[in-house]
A and B are shown apart, each in its own frame.
Chain A
Amino acid sequence: MQSPDFLDVRELVGISKRIGSSDKDDSQRYTRWLTPLIQHAVKDFGTPRTDALDVALDRLAQDHPNFDTVIGWVEAELGFAKAAGHGLDFQRILLVGPAGTGKTTFCLELAKVLGLPAEVVAMNNRQTHAFLGGSEAYWGNTQPGAVFKLLAHSPVINPILVLDEIDKTSSYHGYDPLASLYTLLERRTAEQFADASFPEVHINAAHINWIATANDIGELSTPLRSRFNVFEIRPLHEDEMAELVGRMYGRLLDEHPAVRTLMEPVLPEAVVGELVAVLESGRDVDRLLRMMVGRALSNDGQITSAMIPEMKHERASTRMGFV
């Protein structure tokens, strides 16, 4: 598989002289950002489809049953990519659903399973597009945006960029914080992307995999919405949650054999029922179970329903925002 072109080295030879700036900060900025860009300029695709990846995706689907259509989509795209001779490429996925359905958690776990570098960009309250496409070079404190930063350090050409809560941006004095996306979500224009902070340098951003999350896409413009494949994410059903809790308890013990010998092999049904009643999503099941097991180890390995509100109280007091 031939490496896709990422940048034209001719653009970079002598660039620090061509920009003609005598500003020391400017020179340091060029060295700081263009050095990793050159070091990682030859990139291959990450994540060719393998049997091990299929197994990992199946497990991800079990843990996130409400994302089964998304995982099915990704599996199909991986199958296509394998036949075409590259990795997962230029996905534009928009996950829409109520808060607490585990959208962001799922994005990170998907990136981990795929073995791709990922960056989460919180979109809430963004007022300009600089966070994504960089600030203009004439500003003294100009900085490259998330796309440039991610690609400058990524060893693969197809990392994942998560745009979290894309529906929460707000325009400011006519600036559209999503303006850069129109360019970046079209393959032809993304192939010649130039960060506003380094307008002379063009990089190929046409292989980034995009995943955006939103609670409501009613306010998103039609051109932007049309660039995404939209997936509606529903909350977990009670039976799905119960199954998830039981499975994650078993996995926790499997991963820690020394703990398994001290604990009951199966979570009591009453405890599962109580947990399902208090959990809004599956994202914190693992952490909650770990805490409960820790407590149970001081109680001869017995987990009781009474531990659940106790746990909730402790987490609330540490301001971790649980439930």
Chain B
Amino acid sequence: MNMHDVATPLTPEDHARAKREMQMRGLPLPDESADIDELIRTAMETDKTDDDATAAVPTLREQLEWHRQMTHDAYEALERRVAGLEQGVRARERQPGKGKTSDDKRDGDSMHGWSDRKLVKAREAVIGALLEGGERFEQMLPAHIQYYGSYALDYPSEDQGIEKPDFIVYDALPEVLRHAFMERFPPVASLIRDEGSTPLSLARFDDWQAFARTFA
């Protein structure tokens, strides 16, 4: 669903429409440069014993009504906007790989697109995780992939036992680590990238964790 269809904040067009309506109804237009503070100040300074107060009350009442309407419209528009955003977040959470932790997001953002250039950076980050070892090595975030963007997953055979599309990108591992990992856990899927780029080989993340634990 396009969120712009359900939640549109107030725009200059909204102000223009309200202005036209007040003119059609013959109502005096408030000075657009005056804000609510100005309206309050005017009301406070008008002496109720003054003869002019008789004429001022209806004008102030209309201006107050206009501001109430504008505030109400803005409130409703904001409410619709927030509801639309909440709806979008819930929809994304229902899709695999879109509910990321902050760490996932950090690495996912840096790897957005899985271009060849990004792969080089990922390999450097993987080496950092390798040298540090421990949890950082087991999580292997720079090579971990749950979000595929516009790319497509390809399962080369039917019986891969893929229950959730949660993978490690083989190509993001330095060759020496890739060889050792691949000896035990062969690729189970491919990530089909843009035309002209070779597909990336993927291993189950569960397999990676089993492999990484043998280094503990």
Contact = CB atoms under 8 A, between A and B. Distances in A.
Nearest to B177: A9
A42 B176 contact: yes
A192 to B, nearest CB: 17
Contact of A15 (B123, B131, B180): B131
Contacts of B128: 31
B134 to A, nearest CB: 6
Contacts of A12: 130-131
B28 to A, nearest CB: 71
Chain A interface size range: 10 to 19
Contacts of A1: none
B167 interface: no
Contacts of A38: 127, 130, 174, 176-177
A14 B174 contact: no
Interface residues of B, number: 17
A6 B175 CA distance: 12
Contacts of A7: 176
B124 interface: yes
B20 interface: no
A39 B137 contact: no
A42 B179 contact: yes
A31 B125 CA distance: 11
Contacts of B133: 13-18
Contacts of B31: none
A42 B177 CA distance: 10
Contacts of B215: 10, 13-14
14 contacts: A9-B130, A9-B180, A10-B215, A13-B131, A13-B215, A14-B133, A16-B131, A16-B133, A17-B132, A17-B134, A18-B133, A38-B130, A38-B177, A42-B176
Interface of B: 123-124, 127-128, 130-134, 137, 174-177, 179-180, 215
Interface of A: 6-7, 9-10, 12-18, 30-31, 34-35, 38-39, 41-42
